[in-house]
Structure 1
Amino acid sequence: MKSRHLIRFGTAVTALTTCLVGVGSTAEAQPTERSTDIHAVTAAAAYPLGKLVNVRSAGTKCGTSPIAKASGSGGIRLTISETKSVSTTLSADIGVSYKVISAGVGWNVQKSRSITVSGSRDVSRGKHGTLTAYAKYSGKKFDIFDNLSQKIVERNKKAYKPIGVCFTYKER
Structure 2
Amino acid sequence: MIQQTSGQGKTTLVLSVERSVAATVTKEINVDLKYVSAGVGWSVTNSYAVKNETRYEVPAGKCGTVQAFPLYDVYQADAYTGSTGNYPTGKKVWAYKPVGVCFNQWAQ
* Greater relative CO (CA pairs within 8 A, separation 6+): 2
Aligned to 1:156: 92
- CA–CA separation in structure 1 for the residues paired with 2:54 and 2:17: 10
Aligned to 1:127: 62
C-alpha deviations, 1:119-153, integer Å up to 9, x for none? Answer: 11110111000000000000110111123595322
- CA–CA separation in structure 2 for the residues paired with 1:151 and 1:140: 20
Aligned to 1:142: 77
- CA–CA separation in structure 2 for the residues paired with 1:145 and 1:170: 45
Of all paired residues, the percent bearing the same amino acid is 34
Q: Residue 83 and residue 150 in structure 1: after superposition, are their counterparts in 2 closer, same or farther (change >3 A)?
A: closer
Following superposition, the deviation at residue 103 of structure 1 comes to 0.8
- CA–CA separation in structure 1 for the residues paired with 2:6 and 2:62: 11
Amino acid at match of 1:151: Y
Aligned to 1:95: 30
Matched, 1:110 2:49: no
CA RMSD of aligned residues (A): 1.8
Following superposition, the deviation at residue 82 of structure 1 comes to 3.3
Following superposition, the deviation at residue 156 of structure 1 comes to 2.6
Following superposition, the deviation at residue 154 of structure 1 comes to 4.5
Structure 2: which 5+ residue stretches go unaligned? none
- Please state which structure has a larger fraction of its residues in strand: 2
Q: What is the DSSP-based 3-state SS (H/G/I as helix, E as strand, rest coil) of the residue aligned with 1:91?
A: strand
Aligned to 1:170: 106
Amino acid at match of 2:96: Y
Aligned to 1:74: 9
Q: Residue 111 and residue 73 in structure 1: after superposition, are their counterparts in 2 closer, same or farther (change >3 A)?
A: same
Show the 5 A alignment for 1:25-40. none
Larger radius of gyration: 1
Q: Residue 94 and residue 87 in structure 1: after superposition, are their counterparts in 2 closer, same or farther (change >3 A)?
A: farther
Report the TM-score when normalising by structure 2. 0.89
